[in-house]
A and B are shown apart, each in its own frame.
Chain A
Amino acid sequence: MKLTLKIWREGGVYANGKLETYQVEASEHMSFLEMLDVLNQQLIEEKKDPVAFDHDCREGICGSCSMVIDGRPHGPQTGTTTCQLHMRHYKNGDTIVVEPYRAKAFPVIKDLVVDRSAFDRVIQSGGYISVNTGQAPDGNAIPIEGDTAAKSFDAATCIGCGACVAACPNGSAMLFTSAKVSHLGLLPQGKVEHERRSQKMVAQMDKEGFGMCSNVGACEAECPKEISLENIARMNRSYIGSVFSSE
């Protein structure tokens, strides 16, 4: 299939950034990233600068791919990362607009690559459990109710790709942060530091310059792992509770 791509180019010769139009010949069996690989091969052969984009596992689990396709982070397929989006969802002659994530806390490094290290700093501020490592505990030594374990696991499926921030009209990172807070806080090992963790991670999130949640729900709609807004409510509860009950 023949496609017209309008890709955001920024950095190098494109100092202020602009949408550049390219033609590419792709097969329906390709993933979206493989289609971009074909385009880059073409650009390299023409001695032009290839399009920079983030990618790593290409299995939908690392959270590296990070582009906005026709206004939607990770493209039109719900619950799918860009690398798992296949070209069979497009038809011959389609025009596709590809842009980087837009949020002040995620500055563009080059083309479609943005700096998501703000997420790393949010994790470093409290997204861990402070226990001494040792022998791995026996699987069923600590009983955990099934539903609770499932909720924690659902939150843990967050791959930290940043689609929530990209989709949010406020550039808020509440869905990401709350997924991390919920994942740890729901389990007995993480519960000990739950409230302190909420306070620290929210403080860091604010410091990074993310916007404020206004419960639009675009994050939940675009999240490739379908993380629920329920997690944001849980983080709000623990944050409010910890601010007023801690000494």
Chain B
Amino acid sequence: MKWILQFFTSSIGQKIIMSLTGLFLILFLTVHLIGNISLLFQDGGASFNAYTEFMGHNPVIQTVSKGNFLFIFLHAIQGILLYFKNKSAKGSKYAVSPKNNVSWASKNMALLGTLILAFILMHLGHFWLRFKFFSDMPSIAYDGVEILNAYESVSIIFSNPIWVICYLIGLVALSFHLWHGFASAFQTLGINHKKYTPILKGLGYGYATLIPLGFAIIPLYMYFTN
């Protein structure tokens, strides 16, 4: 078993952890956005409440959600470790900062990641924590069945312009993080090919633009239609 430990503590192994957890989180973002689109339906929150009820009580979803927390944690911890190891490996800085055509995002993944982590904590505090542990959350009855009125909680948060701005900042950070992270995850796994790498890069740029944009529409729409 020593080899497993050796692999995951080697430079490439540690990057593989970043890559695989990152790819899982990319998948999670897609599912999360698809579900959240129901916030835009003009039905007083009925479809969004049905969706949160399903997500909150489905055992498969609940198991995957625990994995998701674990992967966010692993990605963050490993990212922090890499940042400090790399900083110490570089040692001192140059007097003149290099002007070359490398993307700003690629050199600031740790900063962007920290912003995203702060965003996640705020986001969990807004919804997940309250839904799970607060007993006095608003509820709503559909066909005589009382369920959590998650839609109302969301619209309360998104009626405050400060929170809307915080969400938008988090999404901009996410966009830049994905701008580099998407294609980079494949390169780390050793997937670099004359035919496929340009496609993966294009997909990554598209994903980094469209997914955060999709998320950003929700608070903006809810703020301006409330």
Contact = CB atoms under 8 A, between A and B. Distances in A.
Interface of A: 6, 8, 19, 68, 70-72, 97, 99, 102-105, 167-172, 174, 202-203, 205-206, 209-218, 221-222, 229-230, 232-240, 243
A72 B102 CA distance: 13
A70 B102 contact: no
B14 A212 contact: yes
Interface stretch (B24-32, B56-64, B81-89): B81-89
Contacts of B107: 169, 216
Nearest to B194: A230
Given A229-B192, A232-B187, A243-B7, A218 B100 contact: yes
A99 B95 contact: yes
A72 B6 CA distance: 35
Interface string B167-195: 00000000000001001100111111000
A95 to B, nearest CB: 10
Interface of B: 3, 6-7, 10-16, 82, 85-86, 88-103, 106-107, 109, 180, 183-184, 187-192
Given A232-B187, A233-B190, A171 B14 contact: no
Which 7 pairs from chain A and chain B are nearest by CB?
Answer: A211-B89, A237-B190, A233-B192, A170-B86, A71-B96, A71-B98, A236-B190
B10 A202 contact: yes
Contacts of B98: 71-72, 167, 218, 222
Nearest to A73: B98
B187 A171 contact: no
B91 A103 contact: yes
A99 B92 CA distance: 11
A71 B85 CA distance: 22
B84 to A, nearest CB: 10
A222 B194 CA distance: 21
Contact of B12 (A71, A221, A230, A236): A236
Interface SS of chain B: helix
Contacts of B190: 233-238, 240
Contacts of A222: 98, 100
Nearest to A211: B89
B10 A171 contact: no
Contact of A104 (B11, B88, B180, B188): B88
Contacts of B191: 233
Contacts of A218: 98, 100, 102
A163 to B, nearest CB: 11
Contacts of A171: 86, 89-91
A6 B95 CA distance: 10
17 contacts: A8-B95, A71-B97, A72-B98, A72-B100, A102-B94, A104-B91, A170-B86, A171-B90, A211-B89, A212-B85, A214-B15, A214-B184, A215-B183, A217-B102, A222-B98, A232-B192, A235-B12
Contacts of A237: 190
A230 B190 CA distance: 8
Nearest to A78: B100
B90 A167 contact: no
Contacts of B16: 240
Contacts of B10: 202-203, 206, 239
A202 B183 CA distance: 23
